Amino acid sequence: MAALGERAKAAATVLAQAPGAVRDDALASAANLLEAATDRVLAANCEDVAGAEAAGTSATLIDRLRLDAGRVSAMAAGLRTVAALADPVGQVVDGWVRPNGLAVERIRVPLGVVAIIYESRPNVTSDAFGLCLKSANTAFLRGSSAALNSNLAIAEALRAGLVAVGLPADALVLVTDTSHGAAAEFMRLREYIDCLIPRGGPALIASVLANATVPYVLDGDGNCHVYVDAAADLDMAADIVANAKLSRPSVCNAAESLVVHRDVAASFLPRIVDRLDGVELVGDEASRAISPQIGPAGVGDFSTEFLALKMSVAVAESLDAAIDHVNWHGTGHSEAIVTGDLAAAREFTRRVDAAAVLVNASTRFVDGAEFGFGAEIGISTQKLHARGPMGLEQLTTTKFVVTGAGHTRG
């Protein structure tokens, strides 16, 4: 594992000096070679799918694992899209001159080696590589054993794309030992890994917390709320709640919980119950007294990210109570208020502690593409380094460059 890390680090040193145009050429070349390798990738993927089926893997996981020609083309298109984004490297973030004449500049530079541990989707191999290369970082990838053949075939094409433009193949290093022991070792390569981004469920996060000594950014859960204020336009509120819950229930920025101000609960709840036909609603006593179609909320329902057609419902006595409810049960991801009252919007946006707070908009907008980042490596719910959707900028760090004329410190 250390030998792989050493290769990854050596490639990062070369990448950090490669002009943006060369990195963009490598992305284009990797996209072309990936498409040209479609048959080989699909054959490898067939092996993985067959293995997963034989192992009794669930249909949902097999769907995530399975590739077809369209999905391979989509990966290639993703690489071309990333190539067209602005280069984050070399940007002068800020700069100033000190009273003694010393010039201080803060320059955006690559992190170096970005390690990513991910689960069954093989497209992450290509997506992560694209974002890392665009930001001049080595992608040091550790996928799941279920997708190993697919990942190897994809990585082979991408590495050939690097070599075709004279960049080191090791700007993409794929770990092929998919054992738990190897994962733990991977998370401790402090000498070689500058940032680890785990993309997976609670078991992976727990393993990172227990084992990792490398710096990491956690892509956390989203127990997202929509709060319908006393001053909400109820048509707007119904549209937003329906969009936040229904447009894609399985993603982290989908709403899991509805909080309604008591002054509008009697008028709003029956409407939204109809609108959310097919969604299992579980709520507190106040909501159930108004809409008996709402079932009783069990212990923990208000703190659960369902990722399914299920939603918790609470009636809040006041704006304050709603904010407290959101801060207590939320996971710091994306929280929305629907209101026409400026003071309520101000209170909610100031006091709710989350990566993103939305006013009169669906939580579903909290996403790198929707924010205009062009690409996304995840959504951070931690507060250090990156908070919210992570694009290319979050795959960089800065370096101070200080220029004097023989300055010494008194």
- Stretch in the footprint of its own copies (CB under 8 A) among 20-28, 53-61, 142-150, 354-362: 354-362
Tell me how far apart the alpha carbons of residues 84 and 68 are, in angstroms, rounded to a whole number: 25
Nearer to its own copies, 179 or 408 (CB): 408
371 scored as a contact of its own copies (CB under 8 A)? yes
| Distance between CA atoms of residues 72 and 125, nearest Å | 11
Tokens of residue 65, six digits: 């694992």
- Please state the separation of Cα 290 from the chain's center in Å: 38
Q: What minimum distance in Å lies between the beta carbon of 352 and its own copies?
A: 9
Q: How far apart are CA 392 and CA 274, in angstroms?
A: 41
List the interface residues with its own copies, window 276-335 (CB under 8 A): 327
State the residue for tokens 């919210």. Answer: 388
**CB of residue 405 to its own copies, shortest distance in Å:** 6
Question: Which residues have a Cβ under 8 Å from the Cβ of 100 and sit 6 or more positions away?
Answer: 407
Q: Which of 28, 104, 164, 234 binds its own copies (CB under 8 A)?
A: 104
Query: How many residues of this chain interact with its own copies, rule: CB under 8 A?
Result: 64
**98 in contact with its own copies (CB under 8 A):** yes
Rounded to whole angstroms, how far apart are CA atoms 334 and 316? 19
Burial class (CB in 10 A: 0-12, 13-18, 19+), 15: buried
**In the window 38-97, what residues touch its own copies (CB under 8 A)?**
96
Q: Give me Rg for the CA atoms of the chain.
A: 24
Q: Alpha-carbon distance 114 to 183, whole Å?
A: 15
Contact with its own copies (CB under 8 A) among 33, 252, 356, 392 = 356
Of 249 and 295, which has the nearer Cβ to its own copies?
Answer: 249
Which positions from 137 through 156 interact with its own copies, judged by CB under 8 A? none
Q: Does 250 bind its own copies (CB under 8 A)?
A: no
Tell me whether residue 150 or residue 243 sits nearer to its own copies (CB atom). 243
**Which structure tokens are listed for 400?**
């101070």
Name which position in 258, 260, 273, 355 contacts its own copies (CB under 8 A): 355
- Is there a contact between 128 and 118 (Cβ–Cβ < 8 Å)? yes
Site residues (CB under 8 A) for its own copies?
Answer: 13, 16-17, 96, 98, 102, 104, 111-112, 190, 194-195, 209-210, 213, 215, 217, 233, 236, 239-240, 242-243, 247, 327, 345, 349-351, 353-362, 364-366, 370-372, 382-385, 387-388, 397-409
